[in-house]
């Protein structure tokens, strides 16, 4: 397999800013735009090739929110990649508040401690009383950290 075919086989994520730019480019063109033209434009603009499925998804209703004027004012968040909303927002809000207070008090946080605290907080939330507690897995932790911009810190 050649290097170019290896690169073509690799999946590439694009940011919301790039999706918005692609959507605007298509909307500004007269008549119907072929997806291959959009792929070629994207490659010239961003120096890497995307798949037809990425173009199709980017132009779908799923990303229509990027067309709104307020999306441009949120340019900083557009440079990030799509983030899902938390399934349990109250839990994440309380865990985040606890986390901030813990660190402000000089505590060092670990993933295991976050998982333990999430499990402790869950039963204290009345809105979730009738729901089965989630599995606080490493995957859940990774997504929580991504949503709250928590990165590993070096000790010392």
Per-residue pLDDT tens digits for 71-124 = 565 544 555 555 667 888 899 999 989 988 888 888 888 999 999 999 999 999
* 78, 97, 120 - which closes a domain: 78
What the block records as the tokens of 5 is 């075919």
- What pLDDT is attached to residue 37? 94
Quickly state the pLDDT bin for 146 (edges 50, 70, 90): confident
Q: Is the pLDDT of residue 3 over 90?
A: no
* 58, 78, 98 - which closes a domain: 78
Measured between alpha carbons, how far is 134 from 87 in angstroms, rounded to an integer? Answer: 10
The phi, psi pair for 19, rounded to 5°, reads -60, -45
- What pLDDT is attached to residue 81? 55
Q: Which residue has the higher pLDDT, 5 or 150?
A: 150
Q: Is residue 71 part of a domain?
A: yes
Pair 121, 141 in one domain:
yes
Q: Give the pLDDT confidence of 6-54 residue by residue, as tens digits.
A: 444 456 678 888 999 999 999 999 888 899 999 999 999 988 899 999 9
Candidates 20, 136, 1, 8; CA nearest to 79 is 20
DSSP 3-state of 99: helix
Q: Is the pLDDT of residue 128 over 60?
A: yes
Q: What is the pTM of this model?
A: 0.48
Pair 32, 74 in one domain:
yes
What the block records as the tokens of 28 is 């500004």
- Residue 93 belongs to domain spanning: 89-147
Pair 45, 100 in one domain:
no
Residues 6+ apart with CB under 8 A from 90: 125, 127, 128
Looking at residue 126, which CATH number applies to its domain?
Answer: 1.10.10
- What pLDDT is attached to residue 48? 86
What sign has the CA pseudo-torsion 90, 111, 152, 81? Answer: negative
Candidates 12, 50, 42; CA nearest to 24 is 42
Q: Is the pLDDT of residue 60 over 50?
A: yes
DSSP state of 133: P
DSSP state of 86: P
Pair 108, 70 in one domain:
no
Pair 70, 108 in one domain:
no
Pair 11, 56 in one domain:
yes
What the block records as the tokens of 73 is 């004012």
- The total number of structural domains in the chain stands at 2
Q: What is the number of other CB atoms lying within 10 angstroms of the CB of residue 117?
A: 17
DSSP 3-state of 103: helix
Q: Is the pLDDT of residue 151 over 90?
A: no
Measured between alpha carbons, how far is 30 from 118 in angstroms, rounded to an integer? Answer: 52
Can you tell me the mean pLDDT for 142-152?
Answer: 79
* 55, 78, 101 - which closes a domain: 78
């Amino acid at each position: 397999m050649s290097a170019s075919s290896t690169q073509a086989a690799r999946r590439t994520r694009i940011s919301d800013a790039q999706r918005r730019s692609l959507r605007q480019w298509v909307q500004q063109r007269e008549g119907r735009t072929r997806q291959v033209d959009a792929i070629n434009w994207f490659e010239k603009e961003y120096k890497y090739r995307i798949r037809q499925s990425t173009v199709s998804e980017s132009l779908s209703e799923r990303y229509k929110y990027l067309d709104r004027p307020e999306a441009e004012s949120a340019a900083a968040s557009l440079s990030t990649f799509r983030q899902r909303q938390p399934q349990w927002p109250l839990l994440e809000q309380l865990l985040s508040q606890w986390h901030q207070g813990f660190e402000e008090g000089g505590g060092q946080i670990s993933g295991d401690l976050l998982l333990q605290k999430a499990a402790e907080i869950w039963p204290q939330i009345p809105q979730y009383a009738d729901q089965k507690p989630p599995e606080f897995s490493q995957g859940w932790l990774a997504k929580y950290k991504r949503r709250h911009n928590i990165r590993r810190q070096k000790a010392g």
